[in-house]
């Protein structure tokens, strides 16, 4: 069985969708429920119709393109999110829904009607770029994990509520529960890698066996503000000295553990932030991830030990809150095996790797079997207009997705 993916069509769809919210030469700025988002979802729906799929818009604005199977039973779904970073590139999210559509369209054209129902989905939101406290708004509606009243209280960066943003484009927040699905068996998501591992390995496509567990610490280290000249080192309680040791310590721990452990100190603010003043306090974040449940907890324990030890030795007050804490999402092992085997049959060389970034799949895992396919990112760049994946690599990824769907829905 050989599936043909048309590279011309792939490029045309990618470029056309990127026109909605185009930002600079190669960027896209398309936040959920914005005018450019509305235009993009309409375009996606139109392409689904053109392919002969049944289109459904659900209560939160997710768009579904359905190719009914002959047999009854739960659906095989693929897709990703249609919103972007501010700005993001052309591929993050968008590629997943186009890949799903093109895979189903290609299967339909080449193999007709499947036994099992296939669906392509464009989730309305995943990036938290308009509403900082949401995440996976689209897939959370599908899994039934949006609480009553949440849309009314959730505030955007521009201070509007999610409910108002929905109403402005004709969606009714009270109807969100209608978006819940209990008839999805499998969710496959194709996404750009957003990292350099495939490029480093010289491969176009990966099968993702887990999405990493993630924890954010928000730490405040408080010392005593003093004069940078008149106060001797031995009498200081310098929170910057403590910060430096903690940051070097936790980063060093992740470096020693090696892949797939990562730890990042991306945000720091100090007060009063003046060259000649020993700071009063330093506030910073630690983003720390591991896809293995046990290794993750061991790494967090090590980080906490480092923080406590440094603070105590330097006479600093340390406080932290855990603002984000996601368990790893383990891909369905049978799906991973099926995708790896299918790739071999199709002559596609893959590696198997965890995802260091979060994805809709981890929300969908609550109601379905999930697995992901990664496509190589140039220089590992992501969340930037410089994000790039080649059409050749993308077609290899879609070919694997389509072949996987064939195994699940036709074979």
Interface contacts to a second copy, rule CB under 8 A? 193-197, 200, 212, 214, 216, 225-235, 238, 240-241, 243-248, 251, 254-255, 258-270, 273-279, 285, 287, 289, 355-358, 380-384
* CB closer to a second copy, 60 vs 254: 254
Enter the DSSP assignment of 370. Answer: E
Distance of alpha carbon 247 from alpha carbon 343, whole angstroms: 41
* CB closer to a second copy, 148 vs 315: 315
Cα Dmax for the chain: 82
* CB closer to a second copy, 270 vs 337: 270
* CB closer to a second copy, 207 vs 338: 207
Closest contact distance (angstroms) between CB of 322 and a second copy is 12
Closest contact distance (angstroms) between CB of 364 and a second copy is 18
* CB closer to a second copy, 38 vs 357: 357
What's the token pair of residue 300?
Answer: 């967090």
* CB closer to a second copy, 187 vs 217: 217
Closest contact distance (angstroms) between CB of 282 and a second copy is 8
* CB closer to a second copy, 180 vs 326: 326
The angle at the Cα of 234, spanning 230 to 236, to the nearest 5 degrees, equals 65
CA of 367: how far to CAs of 129, 187, 195, in Å?
A: 25, 9, 28
Closest contact distance (angstroms) between CB of 27 and a second copy is 15
Report which of 405, 86, 386, 366 is spatially closest to residue 211, judged by C-alpha positions.
Answer: 366
Closest contact distance (angstroms) between CB of 232 and a second copy is 5
* CB closer to a second copy, 65 vs 195: 195
Distance of alpha carbon 329 from alpha carbon 9, whole angstroms: 33
Closest contact distance (angstroms) between CB of 246 and a second copy is 8
Q: b vs e for 290-325, b when ≥16 Cβ sit within 10 Å of the residue's Cβ? A: bbbeeebeebbebbeebbeebbeebebebebeeeee
Closest contact distance (angstroms) between CB of 32 and a second copy is 19
Q: What is the DSSP string of 83-115?
A: ---TTB-SSTTHHHHHHHHHHHHHHHHHH-S-S
Closest contact distance (angstroms) between CB of 86 and a second copy is 11
Distance of alpha carbon 173 from alpha carbon 43, whole angstroms: 23
Does the N-terminal peptide bond of residue 163 adopt cis geometry, omega within 30 degrees of 0? no
* CB closer to a second copy, 259 vs 308: 259
* CB closer to a second copy, 164 vs 292: 292
Number of CB atoms found within 10 A of residue 162's CB: 26
Closest contact distance (angstroms) between CB of 247 and a second copy is 4
Enter the DSSP assignment of 178. Answer: G
Tell the residue number behind the tokens 């957003």, with chain if given. Answer: 194
Residues 6+ apart with CB under 8 A from 12: none
* CB closer to a second copy, 264 vs 352: 264
Phi/psi at 59 (nearest 5 deg)?
Answer: -70, -20
Closest contact distance (angstroms) between CB of 49 and a second copy is 34
Counting runs of H as helices and runs of E as strands, what totals does the chain give? 12, 18
Closest contact distance (angstroms) between CB of 202 and a second copy is 14
Q: b vs e for 29-55, b when ≥16 Cβ sit within 10 Å of the residue's Cβ? A: bbbbbbebbbebbebbbebbeebebeb
Report which of 134, 305, 146, 313 is spatially closest to residue 217, judged by C-alpha positions.
Answer: 305
């Amino acid at each position: 069985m050989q599936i043909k993916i048309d590279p011309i069509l792939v490029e045309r769809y990618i470029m056309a969708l990127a026109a909605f919210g185009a930002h600079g030469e190669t960027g896209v700025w398309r936040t959920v429920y914005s005018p450019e988002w509305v235009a993009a979802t309409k375009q996606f729906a139109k392409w689904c119709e053109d392919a002969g799929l049944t289109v459904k818009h659900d209560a939160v604005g997710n768009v579904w393109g359905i190719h009914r199977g002959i047999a009854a039973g739960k659906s095989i779904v693929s897709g990703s999110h249609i919103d972007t970073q501010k700005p993001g590139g052309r591929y993050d999210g968008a590629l997943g829904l186009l890949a799903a559509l093109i895979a189903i369209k290609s299967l339909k054209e080449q193999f007709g009607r499947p036994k099992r129902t296939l669906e392509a989905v464009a989730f309305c939101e995943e990036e938290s770029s308009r509403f900082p406290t949401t995440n996976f708004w689209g897939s959370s509606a599908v899994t039934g994990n949006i609480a009553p009243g949440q849309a009314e209280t959730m505030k955007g960066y521009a201070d509007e509520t999610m409910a108002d943003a929905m109403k402005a484009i004709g969606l009714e927040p009270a109807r969100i529960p209608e978006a819940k699905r209990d008839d999805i068996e499998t969710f496959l998501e194709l996404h750009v890698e957003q990292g350099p591992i495939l490029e480093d390995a010289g491969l176009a496509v990966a099968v993702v066996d887990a999405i990493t567990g993630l924890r954010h610490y928000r730490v405040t280290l408080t010392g005593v503000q003093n004069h940078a000249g008149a106060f001797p080192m031995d009498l200081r309680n310098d929170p910057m000295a403590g910060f430096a040791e903690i940051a070097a310590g936790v980063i060093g721990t992740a470096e020693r553990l090696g892949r797939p452990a990562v730890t990042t100190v991306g945000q720091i603010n100090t007060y009063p932030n003046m060259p000649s003043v020993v700071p009063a306090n330093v506030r910073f974040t630690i983003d720390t991830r591991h896809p293995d449940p046990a290794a993750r907890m061991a790494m967090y324990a090590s980080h906490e030990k480092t923080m406590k030890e440094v603070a105590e030795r330097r006479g600093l007050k340390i406080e932290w809150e855990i603002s984000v804490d996601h368990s790893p999402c383990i891909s369905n092992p049978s799906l991973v095996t099926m995708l790896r085997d299918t790739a071999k049959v199709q002559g596609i060389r893959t590696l198997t790797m965890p995802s260091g970034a979060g994805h809709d799949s981890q929300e969908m895992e609550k109601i379905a079997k999930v697995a992901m396919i990664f496509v190589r990112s140039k220089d590992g760049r992501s969340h930037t207009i410089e994000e790039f994946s080649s059409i050749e690599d993308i077609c290899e990824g879609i070919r694997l997705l389509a072949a996987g769907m064939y195994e699940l829905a036709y074979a």
